[in-house]
Structure 1
Amino acid sequence: MKHPFSSYRKLFPILDHTIQLSSCSQSALSLPVRRAIDEYLEVWLKRGADWGYWMEQVALARAEFARMIHAQPDDIAVLGSVSDAASSIASALHFEADRREIVTTTLDFPSICHVWLAQAPRGAQMRFVQAEAGSTDTTERIAGALDAQTALVSVSHACFYDGQRVDIAATGREARRHGAIQFVDAYQSAGAITIDVEAQAVDILAAGAQKYLLGIPGIAFLYVRPTLARRLTPTVTGWFGRVDPFAFDPAGLDFAAGAARFNTGTPPMMCANVARASMALLNEIGIPAIEDYLGQLSAVALEEAVRLGLVVASPADAAAKGANTAIRVPDAARIEARMLEAGYVVSARNDVIRIAPHFYNTAEDVTGALRALAGLIR
């Protein structure tokens, strides 16, 4: 299988000695990201504090994320994590007597579910849709659970556990039909799956940088549809949620227009440097091309896993999943450590090992990891 991005492989030095296949947890370090970190440290060393430079990097990162999801930079807030983004959104919701439900699934990431559960004292009621590993009908299950009682539906675009995908346009349409808001957790899809918030009519979408966005923990991006943003007033806030953060008015609580009202405290400056560099690389290549290639690697992974007799937890159809292919493994954490000894960085979650390539990986990387895994299991 030809590698269409072979010229980029040299940007990831780890691949000279170790095959990193853990983009569902942490992608490989690229030279542009290393340069961005060094640049930040150099500015800090030579200038001490440079707010102009810091704010420029935050703005550039916001613009790169907006470009990636077909939004405008003013529609993007910058926070410390997706949990922070969800908390800011949750604080702006009102749970009325006839519209109290938050709908999510049993396979959504716990951190986001915990944010919604924490709204119970404010009147929210959780409804968990049963989702099965390897399933291809989760979209329909979610859509079928929505009704006039739904205040918000929270969906993972791609599941952290088995990679299964949800059609966010379909669940979003059903949410709007019932007068509800949809929150999309795109942490496992942004950078690997094409997202068009305009075409898919997305209400709210959040993603962090350390997985398929090729960055590091500590920064997340929150898209809020402009007409919706104007209707919401968060109570989780900070000085960067103001019209002018640098007015330094302790008694004035004005809210910035658009998504900026969901900003909280000082942005994560170094993380923004990294995210600007990492997303610029992804946008240079183009997410549709990356998604197509990762679909091919998924097909390779599924075929090889079946050939090796491995038990696959992910959907059997490559088109129904993201880049992550989950293999059921007893004592997954121990096997993860053994895989590293064998030269492969993979990611354990509960009872699965996740093989999650990015565009810099090859089909040989994937098949080699699966053969090593099969040998260790036996």
Structure 2
Amino acid sequence: MKHPFSSYRKLFPILERTAQLSSCSQSALSLPVRGAIDDYLEVWLQRGADWGYWMEQVELARAEFARMINAKPDDVAVLGSVSDAASSIASALTFEGDRREIVTTTLDFPSLCHVWLAQQPRGAKVRFVQAEAGSTRTTAQIAEAVDARTALVSVSQACYYDGQIIDIATTGRAAREQGAVQFVDAYQSAGSIAIDVRAQEVDMLATGAQKYLLGIPGIAFLYVRPELAQRLTPKVTGWFGRVNPFSFDPEHLDFADGAARFNTGTPPMMCASVARASMSLLNEIGIPSIEAYLAELSAVALEEAARLGLSVASPATPAAKGANTAIRIPNAAEVEARMLQSGYVVSARNDVIRVAPHFYNTADEVVGALRELTRLTQ
């Protein structure tokens, strides 16, 4: 298979010696990201403190993310993690009367499920859809679970465990028809799957920079549909959620318009510098092109896994999954360490090894990783 992004591989030095196939956990370090870190440290070293530079990086990162999902920068808040974003949203919701349910699935990332479960003392009732690894029915199961009792639908667009895709337009429509709203966890999809929050009519969507966005942990982006944002008042807040953070008024609480009301404390400046650089690279290439190429790599992975007789936890068709192809391995953590010694960075989760390439990877690297996995587990 011809590599359409071969000219970009030189930006990822680790690929000269190691095949990093762990974007579901941490993508490879690029030279633009390394440069952004070095620039931040140099400014700190030379100027001591430069608030204007810091805030410029935050705004540039916000703008790059907005561009990626077809939103306006004002519709995006900047927080520390997706858990923080979800907690802020949860604090703004009420669970009263007959509308108390939060619908999620047993394959959503536990951190988000824990946020929703923490709302039970406030009256929330969490309803878990029993999702199965490798299934293509989870979207329909979620839609069927939504009814007049639903306050919030929480979905992972791509599952952290097996990579299965949820059609967020379909689940979002089911929520709207019942008067509920939807929260989308895009941590395993943003940067590898094209997202258009307007076309898909997304209410709320959050992601962090560490995985397919090519960045580091410590920063998250929260999109909130403008009309919805104006109706919500978070109880989790900080000085950057104010109309004018620099009024330094301790005695009055107001909330900024739009998504800015979900900002909390001082934003993660260095992480923003990294995210600005990493997302700029992704936007330069174009997410639709990346998504198409990763679907080809998924086809390669599924075909090779079948030929090798590996047990695949992911859906059996590329269209039903993201870049992550999960292979069932009982001693996954141990095998992950042995794979690294063999020159392959993969990611273990419970009883699976996840082979999760990005645009910079080749079909040969995917095939090589699966063959080495087979060798180590025979």
Q: Distance in 2 between matches of 1:109 and 1:33?
A: 27
Report whether the alignment pairs 1:162 with 2:162.
yes
Deviation per CA, 1:153-189, whole angstroms, max 9, x where unpaired? 0000000000000000000001000000100000000
Q: Distance in 1 between matches of 2:324 and 2:244?
A: 42
Q: Distance in 1 between matches of 2:244 and 2:52?
A: 15
Correspondence for 1:303: 303
- Identity %, equivalent residues: 81
Which amino acid letter does the alignment assign opposite residue 365 of structure 1? E
Report whether the alignment pairs 1:272 with 2:250.
no
Correspondence for 1:260: 260
Q: Distance in 2 between matches of 1:263 and 1:110?
A: 23
Correspondence for 2:124: 124
Counterpart mapping for 1:43-58 below 5 A: 43-58=43-58
Deviation of 1:292 after TM superposition, in Å, equals 0.1
Which secondary structure does the structure 2 equivalent of 1:91 belong to?
helix
Correspondence for 1:343: 343
Q: Distance in 2 between matches of 1:191 and 1:253?
A: 36
Which amino acid letter does the alignment assign opposite residue 85 of structure 2? A
Which amino acid letter does the alignment assign opposite residue 236 of structure 2? V
Which amino acid letter does the alignment assign opposite residue 168 of structure 1? I
TM-score in terms of structure 1 length: 1.00
Q: Distance in 1 between matches of 2:326 and 2:128?
A: 23
Counterpart mapping for 1:82-93 below 5 A: 82-93=82-93
Q: Distance in 1 between matches of 2:330 and 2:117?
A: 31
Correspondence for 1:73: 73
Deviation of 1:142 after TM superposition, in Å, equals 0.1
Q: Distance in 2 between matches of 1:98 and 1:327?
A: 42
Correspondence for 2:248: 248
Deviation of 1:330 after TM superposition, in Å, equals 1.4
Q: Which runs of 5+ in 2 are unaligned?
A: none
Correspondence for 1:360: 360
Correspondence for 1:13: 13
Deviation per CA, 1:202-229, whole angstroms, max 9, x where unpaired? 0000000000000000000000000000
Correspondence for 1:225: 225
Q: Distance in 2 between matches of 1:2 and 1:289?
A: 14
Correspondence for 2:183: 183
Deviation of 1:252 after TM superposition, in Å, equals 1.4
- Count the aligned residue pairs: 378
Q: Distance in 2 between matches of 1:240 and 1:85?
A: 14
Deviation per CA, 1:304-337, whole angstroms, max 9, x where unpaired? 0000000000000010000000000010000000
Correspondence for 2:139: 139
Deviation of 1:30 after TM superposition, in Å, equals 0.1
Displacement over 4 Å in runs of 4+ = none
Q: Distance in 2 between matches of 1:252 and 1:46?
A: 37
TM-score in terms of structure 2 length: 1.00
